[in-house]
Amino acid sequence: MDSPRFASSNAAQEQDTPAPNVVPANEYYSSSNYISRHRTLGSSRKPASIHSPNDPMAHSEAATKYRRPRRGSHDDKATKPRRFLIDVDETQKLILEQEDTDGDFQITVNDVGPKVITLGTADSAGFNKYDIRGTYMLSNLLQELSLAQDYGRKYVVLDEARLNENPVDRLSRMIRHHFWDGLTRRIDSEGLELIANDPKNRSKNTAPRIYIPFGEDEVLEYYKNVSVQKPHLKLDVEQLPEVITPKYVQSINDKPGILALAMTKFTNDEGQETLKGVPFVVPGGRFNEMYGWDSYFESLGLLVDGRLELAKGMVDNFVYEIKHYGKILNANRSYYLTRTQPPFLTDMILKVYDRLPYSLEIENKQWLAVAFTAAIKEYLTVWMSQHRYDPESGLSRFYSEGIGMPPETEATHFDHVIKPYADRKGVSVEEYSRLYNEGLVDEPQLDTYFKHDRAVRESGHDTTYRLDNCAADIATVDLNSLLYKYEMDIAETIQSIFGDSFETPYFASYDTSLSTDHPETIVHTSAEWFERARVRQERINRLCWNEERGMYFDYDTRLKAQGTYESVTTFYTMWSGLADREKAEKMMVNALPLFEVTGGLVSGTESSRGTITLSRPNRQWDFPFGWAPHQIMAWIAFEKYGFMDEAKRTCYRWLYTITKSFVDFNGVVPEKFDVVNMTHRVQVEYGNVGLDFKFIPREGFGWMNASYQVGLGYMDRGLRRALGAVMDPCKVFKGRALAVEKSQQNNTNESIATQPPDVTTRLVRPNSLRRV
């Protein structure tokens, strides 16, 4: 009999052991301590000597005994949590043969198999049987078997808790422990092979290639050494010129490559000082590089999940891009060198800064100064310079200085545009495209078309009828709200952290670009930036606010007229704090009903999109599609102005859409949704990303992952329970409305609608967090 002290120690150990459904796969399937407690069986990588003495697989006779087929009995009732004794390969084969009727290596609601598999319980050595039923449990079983194979398991004891796990908990855990890691990249000797792969490369030259900025001689030498040390990579190392022109960018379109990002020095195992890439997160699928606005939303999810250093590294990479490429790039591929994306850097910087350890306050402030210097440079030299700044309206536009056709699109993407010109010239579409890209034909109409097409892609909203053939002329509500946020963030940071005086190098903008006499440095004050914000706010309200409609619209700088397209981006004005209280209330009354649908917030209204025909197909940023960035921006916007019921409701709708798809379709987390028809199987240009996987999703999709983690912070206990049960939003909010009414009748102070969230993960930046 154990001594009391020893028994107590055992009890404590058992109490400290995490529930099997919350343990990450790398611990559950590979940790010898965890495995031995749960009698996980067999592994080609695990010698018998390290099995627990109580493990039946430690002895060959016992192993044979427990693997021998036996007559079993059904175990319909269990007094303790079930664990199943599983032959990994045989069970996977059985599932696919019996249940995967459409042959896509997934178990979904579209499969028409019996949706039941019988497993033997581990405690009975496989004698007692239990049925695993339904799409969700069977797809989870398929996923767990795939994870077991990753860690070399041939036989496992699998906890039932991992098969019937609450889907909210399971998806959040997968994002936190698996998806972020699956999307993390690093550009250096170790990470080049993965990041150099470019599914968008349509050129004949597919060898991995990296471009190094001018003046980065140490980095250039590093990659040249890598190409010698790893000849199998066949790495081509190129250095960019000091001045990167649109003509130069076009000249290397047939030699696309990854653009170098920030590196840090470290000492390797041999005691040598070398370089290591600063990690970052990619969106996923064919988007295998660091994207502009994707990275901002990904960083919000990373911060919720405690991945502070990864989020900080992404800021550092943006600072590197501004320093060496002149802007935050659409993404770090050579064909994106002339194109940026929506600006979120100041908010991204501050959200990271607010979470840095107080013990390193001096270093943190130095980091903040470097980052804000880059943000000021971006603001002045990109957004307040030609051609993006419109001096007459005082607002900014998207505008890319590229030449020719965007090379990253699918081969036939522009065929319908090129065909009339090719027919008139009597050549094929392919031949005319070559002539146009090489400047051998002069076609002003095509030049205008591609000017607007590049601007649409820079906007991030590629594509939409809102910006069709006019994007470079449109001062969008979203862009100018983001720049207002820049101006306010810079003003408040200079005032509260830098003593109302912040020195940077001199950066030219539209107002100063013609000046030849200027100082090397300039001192910024908060008053200057508050005034910039006031002026932009006044102009947006004057040119973009529609009192009759109760919402904001884009402004056409060429036609000098307010647009008519109803876009969910009207709520950017609340996210940035630009809208006053009266306008915010009008938007909640007039605009929100236009965009709130079953699955969340739709990008635009059906009437604004217009009629869809064979010659006028759906565009992915129009009705009926919903996107993670719009949802996150709206939740934060509503919360800022105190509309918490609306924030929770729209957030639940979106999380329900993700959760239902996750449950019904083998754990899929796609790039976007049709939030009206409630499907990720969208019939639209580019299709959808995140669907192409076997057995188990490995990445999800960057900003979709983030929206889930951020959104859970808006769920109170009642909503989280409803979400776990995958309850339809219409039923949920009808029930909650009745609960509130009953609560008010009973004069109670708290109801299901007013319970606080279990864990606050929302990312509104209250004044209490701002450092002084």
Q: Are strands 596-597 and 600-601 parallel, antiparallel or unpaired?
A: antiparallel
Helix (H) or strand (E) holding 38: none
Q: How many CB atoms lie within 10 A of CB 592?
A: 21
In terms of DSSP H, where are the helices of 477-560? 477-496, 526-544
Q: Is 671 a catalytic residue?
A: yes
* Cα-only R_g, the chain: 28
Q: Which of 165, 298, 492, 671 is catalytic?
A: 671
Q: Which of 198, 462, 473, 596 is catalytic?
A: 462
Distance CA 553, CA 536 (A): 15
Taking a C-beta distance cutoff of 8 angstroms, is the pair 348, 475 a contact? no
Helix (H) or strand (E) holding 508: none
Taking a C-beta distance cutoff of 8 angstroms, is the pair 323, 371 a contact? no
Taking a C-beta distance cutoff of 8 angstroms, is the pair 618, 684 a contact? yes
Q: Is 229 exposed, middle or buried (0-12, 13-18, 19+ CB in 10 A)?
A: exposed
Distance CA 287, CA 293 (A): 13
Nearest by Cα to 240 from 266, 220, 267, 262 = 220
- Largest interatomic CA distance in the chain: 95
Work out whether the CA dihedral 741, 742, 747, 753 comes out positive or negative: negative
In terms of DSSP H, where are the helices of 232-307? 246-251, 292-304
For residue 624, say if its preceding peptide bond is cis, omega within 30 degrees of 0: yes
As separate numbers, helices (DSSP H) first and strands (DSSP E) second, the chain gives 29, 25
633 Cβ contact partners less than 8 Å away, ≥ 6 residues apart: 571, 572, 575
Taking a C-beta distance cutoff of 8 angstroms, is the pair 142, 119 a contact? no
Q: Is 566 a catalytic residue?
A: no
Cα dihedral value 268, 270, 273, 276, nearest 10: -30
Active site members: 462, 671
